[in-house]
Amino acid sequence: MIGVKVKDNESIDRAINRFKKMVTRSRVLNEYKERQQYTKPSEERREALKKSIREERRRQRENY
């Protein structure tokens, strides 16, 4: 469970920003979104392959 304790003389906005950073770094929301809908293992493999191809093309463009 992610929680943030407000420090002495700390504004609420700053504490909220710290909380948001902790949530994004822990990837809780990403996992929640992934679990909202079932994807077949074959679809996951296909998407992973597409992603790797895109990344490889991007790397090749940068190195050129």
Which sequence spans correspond to the domains of the chain?
A: 12-63
**From the CB of residue 19, how many other CB atoms can be counted at a distance below 10 Å?**
14
d(Cα 33, Cα 64) in Å, to the nearest integer? 36
pTM of the model: 0.54
Q: How many residues does the chain have?
A: 64
Q: Higher confidence at residue 4 or residue 64?
A: 4
pLDDT category at 3 given cuts 50, 70, 90 is: confident
